Every structure is written in C-alpha cells, then in structure tokens.
Structure 1
C-alpha cells in the first residue's frame, strides 16, 4: 500500500503548488467554487460530469452523511456537499491528498461539511451502519482485495442506503498500456473485469440496481480535453500538478486504452437491502 501512496505523491508540496498556480492565474480565493477546481480535484475520467451523475444516483439530502472511499483531493466530496448540503467523510491512503483535500475545502468554504482522514478503504474503522450513502470513484484499480473493499462499504452503510461505484475496468482488448494515472505499471494495478464486478458486488450483499457503461463518452472526453489544451493551453491547475512529467504519456495511453477497449468505465448503483 505504501507503494501506491508514493505513486500519488507529487514532486514538492501539493498545497503550495496548487495555491501558486491559482494565484498565477489570478483566481480569487474568496470567491472560489468547486467547479473552479474541477481540472485538478475531479481526478477521474469524465471529471465533474461523472460526479454530477453520482450525485443524482445517490439521492442525497442535507441530512445525509456520506462516505467517500478513496477520496483523493476531495473533488467529488465537495461537489456532493455543495450541491446537496450533505456532510461527507473522505478516507484516503495518501496523506498528501488528505492534506490538500482539507485545504481545498477550506478555500471553497466547505470545511464544515467535509472532513478527510488518512486510512485504508478496506478497513475504515467507522461504526457499522453509520453512513447513509457511500461512493468509490476510480479506487479499486489500486486495491487487489476487492472483496474487502466492498464488504467494508456494505458494513458501514445503513440498511436501505445507496453505494455508487464508478471505476475503470479491464476491457476485452488486451493488457493495459502503462503508465496510466493510477499506476506506473502492472505491479500496483488491479482492474476488475465487468464479470468480476457482477459477482463481487452481490457477494458483498448489495443489490445492483443499475449498471452504466460510459466508455464511449470517456474516449470522447479525453479527445475533447486534448483538443481544448491544444487550442487554449492547459487550465491553471491540472492533474499534471501531482502526476508530473508523465502526465502527457498517461493521457495518450488512456486514449489508446479506451479506443482499443483495453479499459472500460462503468458506474454501478447499489443498495444495501433494508
């Protein structure tokens, strides 16, 4: 697990790097909104658009307490909190990510609705049935023991609560081209297949109520992102802030992986039976 955390630790201090990039772009911290940070903190394929689909699928209220398993820089957590008024607890293995997530929540005025703690998504330490909803976004590719991950998601969710998984899956087109944004190589990459997921989630106790494959939209998203960067230049803060010099190669590989069906993006909406 330390190897995975190390992969995501950027060169230098992330909070300072993101702050400097925002200042250089003339972004007013006093009026910062979650959408302003989407190019860096919505660290998943299709970005904020996918997060909005998750918000809709979870059906949250202002009274909901949500668990984000593998919360990263906290983009989805903040978007959920901002749009629904819910409170979110994020758990992530990477200390730097939790530090940045807390800072970005402070900058966007959402510290009172989001908190982030360093921990293992397969063993959060939260009480049984203590959250109303949970989500996992582009996390399981780094976790070999997916049984433990989904069992933990089931354990902490109250009966009747919803769990949304939006993940990168192994496709039918062959081995993944590396590096990719979640791994430099296969030693820390464990994408499940669609067939695996159809067994894993029910085995953990969930009822799967929908399964949506967004692979074609994901390929179009990457192509549009590259075209926009070529036309307008990169946004002031991007994933490259913490992925470093390999970011361009990772992006090119993701386009190839999706085009060749080596990976797929799929969202599963599940419930814990009442």
Structure 2
C-alpha cells in the first residue's frame, strides 16, 4: 500500500487498548474478527457469523482434550475460551494489548476455565516460549498487523511440536486493486495499522520458509468480505450516543467498513499448515 508504513507492535497494542471495551460491547462471545456466511440466503448476524468462523478454525486446528494451543493475537479471549469449553484443550493466548490481556483473563475466569486458559502480554515476533511447547497454534485475523509475516510464522513453527497444526486467517490481494478503489483500502490499512499486503502466491513460500508444510490455502472471500463490511457498516451507524462521543474523533472509528464492500479484489484467506514430523 502506498505511503503505509509497517506497524510497530507497541502502536498496535495501544490501538487495541483504545477499543478493548468497545470490542467487549460489540460481540457477547468476543469473536473480534470477520464473519463467515454459508451463502447469500444465510441470514446470520455478524456476531453469529463471526462465531461460525471461529468454529471453522477450531475444526481445522484439530485439537482435543489435553492438547495445548497457542492463540497468537488472542483479542479479548473469545475463540480461545470457546476452544477450551468445547474441546477441553489448554490455551495460552498472547496479545500486545494490556487491556485485552485483562479482559481476556476476566472472560476465562467467568467461563470457569482459568485453570487451563491464560492470556499474556507478548510480541508474536519474539514469543517467550521454548521450542516444542505447544500442540498447535492459530492466528485468527491477527497476522494482518504483523510487520513481518515470515518472522511470525517461524516463531509459531518453532514453538509448535512436530506434527502440530498452524492455522491462520489473513487479508490478501485477490487481483490488482484498481486505482479508483485503492483509496478505501489504503485508508483501512493506515487507520487500522495493517502490515504489508500479500497475495495468494506469497503464502506457499512464506509457509515453507518457516519450516512448515502447506495443507490448505482457501480463498473464503465470497463467504466473508462483502457481508462483513455491510454488517459492520450498518452496526457502526447504529452505535449508541455514548460510544459516538467516546470514539467519534478517532480516525479508525470514523472509517466506514462499507467503503470496502465492492472491493472484491480485497480478499480473505484461510491458511492451514503443519510442522513436519521427524
């Protein structure tokens, strides 16, 4: 993106500190990511569709009772807590936002899973864990903020045991974005502190160079992007007056997600990889 500098982790942390409470209000299940709709006739709300995307990632990570997941960019804890509740897994989540750590651990305690789910302040590009510490890892719409995806993937590969799965979602450029559509995408990247844009062709190399094997690269844009941006725009227009007063001057809050609705070239990718055995 033109004129967009790679985000610094400390900036991203402060960004999510600003919006942590609003995020908790927006979705009772704390799935702070885009939604997944089965088709044009699917009438799910954005929170329901976001929960469905969480379920898809849980299915792909294939982790059961006794397994230990690293949740990279854990948000306020919704997906990690849900995995612990439904699969019986242990979860360690990391984020660069102190407010998210606080809210995520509070959520784990309220859900009764704090004995096996914990959230910590840590940089995904320098994970504070020994090699082979986890059975799997995911980065659910968090690698979008990383200045170096390759470094994050190498760190995830390092801390996951052989045979373990690494699952992530990412924005990508499906086709060259026309000049008349670029302003909306560039504004979104700038105001929400996104890292360099990638293409589908970039991912096999990124995964292999991290020491992982590609299992699946799935373009799920048609199920995700248009409806999410439409629904997010609609919800933004209906925020309570107190929220508008609190965040109305924030450039990131001012951005209308509906500006991206017709940018079909801006897509959403599901990546499934694994660390080879032996």
Q: What is the TM-score with the length of structure 1 in the denominator?
A: 0.78
Partner deviation per Cα, 1:99-126 (whole Å, 9 max, x = no partner): 1111122222222231011011011111
* Superposed counterparts of 1:240-259, under 5 Å: 244-245=247-248, 246-247=252-253, 249-255=255-261, 259=262
The CA deviation at 1:69 is 0.9
- Alignment RMSD: 2.9
Work out the CA distance in 2 between the residues paired with 1:217 and 1:126: 35
> Paired residue for 1:203?
209
Work out the CA distance in 2 between the residues paired with 1:54 and 1:202: 21
Runs of 4+ off more than 4 Å:
226-231
Partner deviation per Cα, 1:188-220 (whole Å, 9 max, x = no partner): 532322111121011111111111111011134
> Paired residue for 1:225?
231
Unaligned runs of 5+ in 2: 1-8, 36-49
The CA deviation at 1:90 is 0.4
Work out the CA distance in 2 between the residues paired with 1:102 and 1:49: 23
> Paired residue for 1:216?
222
> Paired residue for 2:47?
none
> Paired residue for 1:37?
28
> Paired residue for 1:184?
191
Instruction: Give the 3-state SS of the residue equivalent to 2:28 in structure 1.
Output: helix
Aligned residues: 244
Work out the CA distance in 1 between the residues paired with 2:77 and 2:190: 19
Is structure 2 residue 167 aligned with structure 1 residue 164? yes
Work out the CA distance in 2 between the residues paired with 1:179 and 1:5: 19
Q: Is the 8 A contact 2:90 2:116 kept in 1?
A: yes
Instruction: Give the 3-state SS of the residue equivalent to 2:175 in structure 1.
Output: coil
Q: Is the 8 A contact 1:66 1:88 kept in 2?
A: yes
> Paired residue for 2:11?
3
Unaligned runs of 5+ in 1: 23-35
* Superposed counterparts of 1:96-107, under 5 Å: 96-107=99-110
* 1:62–1:117 distance in 2 versus 1, CA, 3 Å: same
* 1:18–1:106 distance in 2 versus 1, CA, 3 Å: farther
Instruction: Give the 3-state SS of the residue equivalent to 2:17 in structure 1.
Output: coil
Q: Is the 8 A contact 1:141 1:189 kept in 2?
A: yes
Partner deviation per Cα, 1:74-121 (whole Å, 9 max, x = no partner): 121112111101010001111111111111222222222310110110
The CA deviation at 1:254 is 3.7
Instruction: Give the 3-state SS of the residue equivalent to 1:10 in structure 2.
Output: helix
Instruction: Give the 3-state SS of the residue equivalent to 1:128 in structure 2.
Output: coil
The CA deviation at 1:172 is 2.1
* Superposed counterparts of 1:86-165, under 5 Å: 86-165=89-168
Q: What is the TM-score with the length of structure 2 in the denominator?
A: 0.77
Work out the CA distance in 2 between the residues paired with 1:229 and 1:199: 38
Work out the CA distance in 2 between the residues paired with 1:206 and 1:123: 18
The CA deviation at 1:57 is 0.8
